[in-house]
Structure 1
Amino acid sequence: MKERCKVCVTGGAGFIGSWLVKKLLAKGYTVHATLRDLNNESKVSLLKSLPQSQDKLVLFQADFYNSNDFYPAIQGCDFVFHVATPLNHEASSQYKDTTEALVAGSESIVKSCFRAGTVRRLIYTASVVSASPLKEDGSGFKDEMDETCWTPLNDSLSYLHIDDYLKDYIYSKTLTEKHMLSYGNNGNDGGLEVVTLGCGLVGGDTLQSFTPLTALVCISLIIQDENVFKKLKFLKELLGKIPLVHIDDVCEAHIFCMENTSINGRFLCANSYISCEEMVNHFTLHYPEFNVKHEYDGLKKDIKWTSTKLQDKGFVFKYDAKMILDDCIKCARRMGDL
């Protein structure tokens, strides 16, 4: 099946996208990968240097701000991985903000899937920022965090110490995920199986030429960058603790959701749910050469991570918190950031 199967990966040169493309090619799939700019030599060369890329990889230019761009890449594909997310808004576009651009762009991808007539399943790379266990009234956290949690997009967010950029990111990822799920098996044109994977803070190594921001956030307690550290504090305030997941597990989970006979709906994707205190203890014990920030949670309630939907389907995570943090440090050292 893999020899005949075509899959599309939007945002193919990103941290997750490039790792996913590499794995798909290694498994024998033909991959259509989209990039915002095919004249970006560093991103194009990254993908063209992957094993099996010469025979199995086709690159397409596609931009969220041009809604018809994605159809040529999706045409003829059996599965679509929607990984791309615009992080910086183009003020001159027809959209008022990133949220509107992401929702509209994602809707155009869904419509392209229906139009192609070949796509069996759409797998969307969501984020755990859409699954906060915060209570609607902002009075604190629920006891558990799982797929039933949705980040309350109301005044409860005003209790968080976040800037407009992070607030826009929460809104865009939450509203887009809900929008994507509304298309799943709704009976139109035979229905489309839609899977959303709400990924935790992604750590590990990279194919890119720089340390990914999320990997830096994982080790922000030992690097001297206050802006990166603020993002870890943001996740702690929004989610109670830090859901961690390795890049390799993320991509294996995406492929698992493609190869599964029938799967749809919302899944959270993280293998560890740890406090800042636990991160401090790990770095202090295993990396005494670093000056570790001693940040503690101060939570009154111990929130439990109770999401097991992926594992119940048969997926197995291979990387625990220690392995994720250690691989982030190895990556940052290799890139000269530590």
Structure 2
Amino acid sequence: MDEMKDKVCVTGAAGFLASWLIKRLLSSGYHVIGTVRDPGDEKKLAHLWRLDGARERLQLVKADLMEEGSFDDAITHCHGVFHTASPVLKLSADPKKEMLEPAVEGTLNVLRSCKKNPSIRRVVLTSSSSTVRARDDFDPDVPLDESSWSSVELCQRLQLWYALSKTLAERAAWEFCNKNGIDLVTVLPSFVIGPSLPPDLCSTATDVLGLLKGEVKKFQLHGRMGYVHIDDVALCHILVYEQKRASGRYLCNSSVLDNNQLISLLSERYPSLPIPKRFDEQLRRPHYEFNTSKLERLGFKFKSIQEMFDDAVRSLVEQGHIDLSLISP
């Protein structure tokens, strides 16, 4: 669909996923307008300007999730929008104020700007596999697919703020787009693993680094988790944008593993790293698998769990977070 390779908007451009998405969009010939909170923050945005094609086909503009109309200028001349920006809960924060409201209202602000632009062909929203699996009424023998939705009541009761914010934001997006005739496709990645382009590690990459250094606290809470390569998530976004027959929701996941399965694999692959030997089984989560056949029917193939962690470790070494001497030849 070469006619679509014109101009697209990526919200939250400096983020972990958005940076990879922009990298892939530029390499595919797109013109990209990325939204950031401070276009003048040279240190935070330097990695974007180093991307191939950035000087010729990347523009960074200011926008704020909670500011009505602030995405209008960025989206005005675009044919497509990739909404990846999402708030992250801070320590000692008010979840409703810091995460839930920005997730929902920020998404609606972006979509209101899309509604003003008749040239928009499609909007791709980054949701999460947590919008599918946070429920206690599924059959563990039947893989979860895109028809599943997380329970809002369960998320509230267990204070699963990230899953709740993603679930509420995606539901609000579908309601708005269905009402206003906007072509929406949503991508539901599992836990994203891989090289970090931004110099400051996001919470996901920080969790991975902690695990490789022997910390158990954050991963202990994961229990059973799906994993996917960052590059696969970026490529998936572009695929569902370009494929005319793409519609609805798409689970984006390569492998689902229990914590102890994961550390067994990692310990064998990186014997010199102080990876934990075992996790407490008391926090075991319900068994589940993901059915990703909908995405695979579009021709998509996932990288393996080994590939995603190899690439992540290599990146952490290059950035100085892991001592090269600890990595076996």
**TM-score when normalising by structure 2:** 0.87
How far off is 1:128 after superposition? 1.5
- Quick one: structure 1 residues 4 and 303, their matched pair in 2 at CA, closer, same or farther if it must change by over 3 Å? closer
The residue that corresponds to 1:28 in the other structure is 29
* Pairing partner for 2:205 from 215, 225, 234: 215
Does structure 1 residue 200 correspond to structure 2 residue 190? yes
Does structure 1 residue 67 correspond to structure 2 residue 68? yes
Does structure 1 residue 253 correspond to structure 2 residue 256? no
Say whether the 8 Å CA contact 1:181–1:196 is kept in structure 2.
Answer: no
Residue identity matched to 2:257 = I
The residue that corresponds to 1:113 in the other structure is 114
Structure 2, gaps ≥5 residues long: 323-329
Does structure 1 residue 154 correspond to structure 2 residue 153? yes
CA RMSD of aligned residues (A): 2.8
The residue that corresponds to 1:292 in the other structure is 275
The residue that corresponds to 2:318 in the other structure is 334
2-side partners of 1:55 and 1:47: how far apart?
12
The residue that corresponds to 1:316 in the other structure is 301
Does structure 1 residue 275 correspond to structure 2 residue 230? no
1-side partners of 2:274 and 2:98: how far apart?
39
Stretch moving more, 114-123 or 258-267: 258-267
2-side partners of 1:142 and 1:63: how far apart?
43
1-side partners of 2:4 and 2:185: how far apart?
23
Say whether the 8 Å CA contact 2:37–2:64 is kept in structure 1.
Answer: yes
The residue that corresponds to 2:325 in the other structure is none
SS in 2 for 1:131: helix
Say whether the 8 Å CA contact 1:216–1:332 is kept in structure 2.
Answer: no
* Pairing partner for 1:234 from 204, 221, 241: 221
2-side partners of 1:72 and 1:301: how far apart?
45
- Cα deviation, 1:190-220, whole Å, max 9, x if unaligned, reads x211111111111111221144432343454
2-side partners of 1:4 and 1:155: how far apart?
42
Name the % identity: 30
Count of matched residue positions in the alignment of Structure 1 and Structure 2? 318
2-side partners of 1:209 and 1:266: how far apart?
31
How far off is 1:112 after superposition? 0.9
Say whether the 8 Å CA contact 1:2–1:28 is kept in structure 2.
Answer: no
Say whether the 8 Å CA contact 1:201–1:218 is kept in structure 2.
Answer: no
SS in 2 for 1:154: helix
Say whether the 8 Å CA contact 1:11–1:35 is kept in structure 2.
Answer: yes
2-side partners of 1:270 and 1:214: how far apart?
15
SS in 2 for 1:330: helix
Residue identity matched to 2:145 = D
The residue that corresponds to 1:304 in the other structure is 289
SS in 1 for 2:13: coil
Say whether the 8 Å CA contact 1:133–1:145 is kept in structure 2.
Answer: no
Does structure 1 residue 181 correspond to structure 2 residue 180? no
Residue identity matched to 1:286 = R
SS in 1 for 2:21: helix
Structure 1, gaps ≥5 residues long: none
2-side partners of 1:156 and 1:302: how far apart?
18
